Amino acid sequence: MSTEASSNQIHRVKVLNLPTHENSAIKKLLQSHGVDRFKKAPKWRYAFLNFENEESAREVMKKLEGVEFKKKTLTTEYSVVAKDVFRERFQPKQHVDEDDPRSPAERLADQVTPLHRMPYEEQLSRKHKAGIAHLSKFKRRMAQLTDLSETSKAQIAWAFEKNGLPFEVLDPIASPEINGYRTKCEFTIGRNPDGKPTVGFLLGLYRHGITSVLNPEDCLHVPEMSKRIANAMQDYVQSSEYSVYDRVDKVGVWRSMMVKAQKTGDVLILVQLKTSELDQDQLAKEKKKLVDYWTSFKDKPENERINVTTLLVQEWNGDSNGITEKGQTEVLLGDGYVYEELLGCRFRLSSSAFFQVNTPATELLYTKCAEWCNIDKNKKTTLLDLCCGTGTIGITMARTVDRVIGIEMIADAIVDAKANAEMNKIENVQYHASKVEERIDVVANEKNEEVVAILDPPRNGVHSSVIRAVRESSQIRKVIFISCDANQALQNFISLCRPTSNRFKGAPFRPSRAVSIDLFPHTEHCELMIEFVRVDDDQR
C-alpha cells in the first residue's frame, strides 16, 4: 500500500466485552496499555480506538486481546475507513438555499432581528396579541383539567367564564429605545463568506452546517460602541500571527468575545481563546499585546475612542462554542466588573452575571412591577424576591417595604447581590444562596402583615417544587410572575392556579391582570408580567 493511500485512512480497533458506563475505569485500563484516547458512549459494551497506521493498531490489539477486565475477557476487531468518509459522518450538513435572493446582511438581519422590516407600532401590536394568545391558552388548559369536584371547580371558576379573558390585560409597554438597545453582545470570531477573519454573528445555525460569520455593522439592536469594539477586534485578529478558530476542524486560537457596554459608559470586554496550541510564553505575550491594544483606544479621536473599564480573557479548549463558565477566566485590566444604574440604584456586573440587556425598558418593567405590588405604607410589608439573581428587583424596591428576602440558587449571584445592596446602602435585605423550596421557611416565620412574592425565573420557568412551596406559604397573598417565555412557563402558571390537592396544597392563585413589556425590539421576544392573587378562603 502506498504511503499516500495509508495517510488517507484511519485504522480502527474495536474493543469488545467492555462494561456499560465505567468509563473512568476503562480510561485507566487503556492508559496502562499506552492508549490515551478512545470513543465510547456510556451504554456501549465496546469502544473504538483510532490509529494513523496499521502497525500501531495491531500492536495495541496484541496487548488488549484476552485481557480480563470486570469479569469479562476482552476481544478486538480491526478495520480501515477512509478519513474523508469518517469525518463526513460528524460534520453538520449544509442547509443553504442557493436560490435565496437576499444578501448576507439581509439574511443576518432576518435571523437576529426578524421583525426589522415591520414598523415598531406593528411589532408592539403583534407582541400584545401573542401575550393574549398565551393567556388564552393558559385559561383553556385550566378549564380542561379533569376529575374536578364542585369545590375544585369553584376554586378555578374564572377559567370557565365565557367571552374572553376574565381579567385585565393592559396595553403593551413599548421600549423607550428601539435601536442599539443591547448592553450585552456575544460575538463569534470566524471567517466571513469570503474567508476573511471576521468578528460578528454566525450567518445561520451551526448545527445546520453554517460556519460563516458576518460583521454586526447593519444589526439594528447592536449599539454603536459594541460595533466599534467588534471592528477593533476584527482588525486585531486579521493582523494576528494566530488564526481564528475553525469550528469544523477545531483548530485556531481566536474563538469568541463578549462585550458589555453599559449606559453608564462602562465597557467590559472578554476575549475567548483556544490556548492548547500556545505555550506559556506565547500566551503571556498575547495577553500583554491585548492589554496594550485595548488601552491604546482611550487616546484616539472621539469617534474611534473606546474606554475599556475591564478586560478579561477566557481560555477554553473544549468542543462547545461560545463563552462558558467551564472556561478559565482571567482579569487583565480593571477589576473584572462594570456598573449599571437602574431606577436610582447602582449595580455591579461581572462577566457572568445576568442583567437585563435593555436598561431603559427594564426600568419601565420594574416600575410597573412595583406599582402592582401595591405597597401599603400603613402596613409592614415583606417583599420576597425569588430567583433574585444579582438583586436588582429587590434593591430597587427596598426603600418602599419593611424588608426584602432574596433567594437564588447560584451562589456567585448572591455574592453580587450582597455587594449591590451594600453599595446602595440598603440594609433591610437578606439573601440566601439556596434552592427556593429549601428556604421558603423564612416566609413561614414572617410576622409582617403583607408578603408579596416576585418570580422572575429563567426562560424555562421554575421547578414545580418552587410553585408548591409558594402555594403552601399562606402568608403570600400575591405573586408577580415575570416571564420571558410564557409558553415554557405555562406549566408554572397552571400549577400556581390549579385547585387544592394532595400534591398542590394551599389555596390556589388566580390571574388578576397582565401586561406585555417589550425589552427586545425587532425580535419576537417579549416579557409577559402576570399578577396572581390568592383565591379567597371561602372558595377553598
**Annotated active-site residue in 484, 497, 526, 531:** 484
- Phi and psi at residue 244, in whole multiples of 5°? -75, 160
For residues 468 and 495, the answer to whether their CB atoms sit within 8 Å is yes
* Residue of 527, 528, 509, 511 lying closest to 519 (CA atoms): 527
Q: State the distance between the two ends of the chain, measured CA to CA, in whole angstroms.
A: 83
Looking up cell 456586573 gives 349
Q: Which position among 286, 437, 446, 527 bears the catalytic label?
A: 527
Q: Would residue 484 show up in a list of annotated catalytic residues for this protein?
A: yes
Nearest-CA neighbor of 486 among 428, 526, 538, 540? 526
CA distance 310 to 355: 17
The angle subtended at Cα 88 by Cα 83 and Cα 90, nearest 5°, is 110
DSSP 39-103: B--TT-SEEEEEESSHHHHHHHHHHHTT-EETTEE-EEEEEEEEHHHHHHTTSPPP---TT--S-
Q: Is 88 a catalytic residue?
A: no
Strand 68-69 with 72-73, pairing: antiparallel
Using the structure block, give the residue that is written with the C-alpha cell 431606577.
Answer: 343
Partners of 511 in the β-ladder? 532
- How far, in Å, CA of 298 to CA of 304, rounded? 9
Residues tagged active-site:
484, 527
